Structure 1
Amino acid sequence: MSKRTADDEEGGVALKSGDRPMDIDVDNEMGEFEDEFEDEFSDDEIIEAGVDGRPDAEREAEEKAAAANAMDVDGAPASGGPGTFIVGRTKLEPGQVLAPDPSAYDMLHSLNTPWPCLSFDFVRDQLGDARTSYPATMYTVAGTQAQSGKANENQLMVLKFSSLGRMHKDGGDSDSDDDEDDEDADGNVESDPILESRSLPLASTTNRIRAHQVPSADPSRPPTTLTATMTESSHVLIHDISPHLAAFDTPGTVITPQQNKPVSTIRAHKTEGYALDWSPLHPSGKLLTGDNDGLMYVTTRTDGGGFVTDTRPFVGHTGSVEEIQWSPSEASVFASASSDGTIRIWDVRSKSRQAAITVQVSNTDVNVMSWSRQTSHLLASGADDGVWGVWDLRQWKPTAAGAAIPKPSPIASFNYHKEQITSVQWHPTDDSIVAVAAGDNTVTLWDLAVELDDEESRDTAGVQDVPPQLLFVHYHSNVKEVHWHPQIPGALVATGDEFSIFKTISV
Structure 2
Amino acid sequence: MGSTTGSASKPLPQQATHKAVQQRKSTIPHDAHHDADADDDDGDEEDDDDLRPPNARRNKPIPPASTSISTSATAAATTTTTLPPSKPARHDDDDDGMVGPPIALAEQHDDGPSDNASNSDDDNADADFKSGILPISNHIQLLDHTKTVSALTIDASGSRLLTGGHDDDVKFWDFQGMDATFRPFRTIEPFEGNPIRDLQFNQSGSEFLIASSVHFPRLYDRDGVIIQEYAKGDPYIRDPKHTKGHVASLTCCRWHPLDRKTFMTASLDSTIRIWDVENKKSQIKVINIKSERGGRTAITSACYSNDGKMIASSAQEGVIRIWSSGGPFLRPTHTILSAHMANAEITSTVFSLDSQRLLTRASDDTVKLWDLRNTSKALALARDLPCSFGEANAIFSPTESVVLAGTSVRKGEGQHGKLVVLDGNTLRPLKEVSVNESSVVKILWHPKINQVVLGTGSGAVFVYYDERVSVRGALSCASKGVRKNRAPDVITNANIEAVIHNPNAVLKEEVHRKTKRRLERIRKDPIASRKPDMPLSGPGRGGKLGHTIQAGMLQSLIKDTTRSEDPREAILRHAEAAKKHPYWVDRAYQETQPDPVFAEAVYEDDTEEQWEANKKRRQ
Pairwise TM-score range, normalised by the shorter structure: 0.5 to 0.7
Structure 1 residue 384: Cα displacement: 1.2
2:249 is aligned with 1:272:
yes
1:383 lines up with 2:362 in the alignment: yes
**Alignment check: 8 A CA contact 2:199 2:209 kept:** yes
Secondary structure in 1 matching 2:373? helix
Unaligned runs of 5+ in 1: 1-54, 59-83, 87-103, 128-137, 147-153, 165-190, 216-222, 245-258, 397-407, 452-465
Shift of 1:495: 3.5
C-alpha distance in 2 between matches for 1:418 and 1:122: 23
Contact 1:204–1:233, Cα closer than 8 Å, also in 2 = no
- Aligned match of 2:284 in 296, 310, 314? 310
Q: Which one of 403, 419, 440 corresponds to residue 444 of structure 1?
A: 419
CA contact (8 A) 1:382 1:389 kept: yes
Selected match of 1:496 from 453, 457, 470? 457
Instruction: Give the total of aligned pairs.
Output: 316
Which one scores higher on RCO, CA 8 angstroms, separation ≥ 6? 1
- Give the letter aligned to residue 233 of structure 1: V
Is 1:417–2:389 an aligned residue pair? no
Q: Does 1:141 align with 2:117?
A: no
Alignment of 1:231-310 (within 5 A): 231-241=212-222, 243-244=223-224, 259=225, 261-267=226-232, 268-284=245-261, 286-302=262-278, 308-310=282-284
CA deviation vs aligned residue, 1:10-36 (integer Å, no higher than 9, x gap): xxxxxxxxxxxxxxxxxxxxxxxxxxx
Counterparts of 1:478 and 1:263, CA distance in 2: 34
Indicate the residue corresponding to 2:328 in structure 1. 351
CA deviations 1:445-502 (Å, max 9, x no partner) are: 3241588xxxxxxxxxxxxxx9543454434513321111232224333232123324
Q: Aligned partners of 1:266, 1:479: CA distance in 2, in Å?
A: 33
Deviation at 1:342, TM superposition (A): 0.8
Task: Please point out which of 322, 326, 340 is paired with 1:362.
Answer: 340
**Deviation of the 1:198 alpha carbon:** 1.3
**Aligned runs of 1:61-460 on 2, under 5 Å?**
105-126=136-157, 138-146=159-167, 154-162=168-176, 192-202=180-190, 203-213=192-202, 215=204, 224-225=206-207, 227-241=208-222, 243-244=223-224, 259=225, 261-267=226-232, 268-284=245-261, 286-302=262-278, 308-310=282-284, 312-317=286-291, 318-329=296-307, 331-360=308-337, 361-364=339-342, 365-396=344-375, 408-420=376-388, 423-440=392-409, 442-448=417-423
Partner Cα separation in structure 2 for residue 476 and residue 236 of structure 1: 33
Alpha-carbon distance between aligned partners in 2 of 1:263 and 1:121, rounded to the nearest angstrom: 21
CA contact (8 A) 2:439 2:458 kept: yes
CA 482–352 in structure 1, closer or farther in 2 if over 3 Å, else same: closer
* CA deviation string 1:216-268 (max 9, x = no partner): xxxxxxx522x222222222222223x45xxxxxxxxxxxxxx3x35222411
User: What is the rounded CA distance, in whole Å, between the counterparts of 1:434 and 1:348 in structure 2?
Assistant: 26
Between Structure 1 and Structure 2, the one with more strand by share is 1
RMSD over aligned Cα atoms: 3.5
| Conserved? CA contact 1:373–1:428, under 8 Å | no
1:32-88: CA deviations, max 9, x gaps?
Answer: xxxxxxxxxxxxxxxxxxxxxxx9899xxxxxxxxxxxxxxxxxxxxxxxxx999xx
Work out the percentage of aligned pairs sharing the same amino acid. 14
Q: Distance in 2 between matches of 1:214 and 1:484?
A: 16
**What letter is aligned with 1:369?**
S
CA-CA distance at 1:373 after TM superposition: 4.3
Change (3 A) 1:325 1:307: farther
Which residue of structure 1 lines up, in the alignment, with residue 51 of structure 2?
A: none
Tell me the secondary structure at the aligned position of residue 423 of structure 1. Answer: coil
CA distance in 2, matches of 1:224, 1:195: 22
Partner SS for 2:183: strand
Quote the offset at 1:437 in angstroms.
Answer: 1.9
- TM-score w.r.t. the length of structure 1 is 0.55
Report what 1:481 is aligned to.
Answer: 442
Distance in 1 separating the partners of 2:403 and 2:268: 27
- Structure-to-structure mapping, 1:38-77, within 5 angstroms: none
Q: Give, in whole Å, the separation in 2 of the partners of 1:413 and 1:434.
A: 12
Separation (CA, whole Å) in 2 of partners of 1:193 and 1:56:
37
CA distance in 2, matches of 1:390, 1:115: 34
Q: Distance in 1 between matches of 2:327 and 2:161?
A: 35
**More helix by percentage:** 2
Task: State the 1:324 CA deviation.
Answer: 0.5
Q: Which amino acid aligns with 2:325?
A: V
Give the secondary structure class of the aligned counterpart of 2:440. Answer: coil
User: Helix, strand or coil: the match of 1:196?
Assistant: coil
Which 5+ residue runs of structure 2 have no aligned equivalent? 1-66, 71-106, 110-134, 233-244, 410-415, 470-619
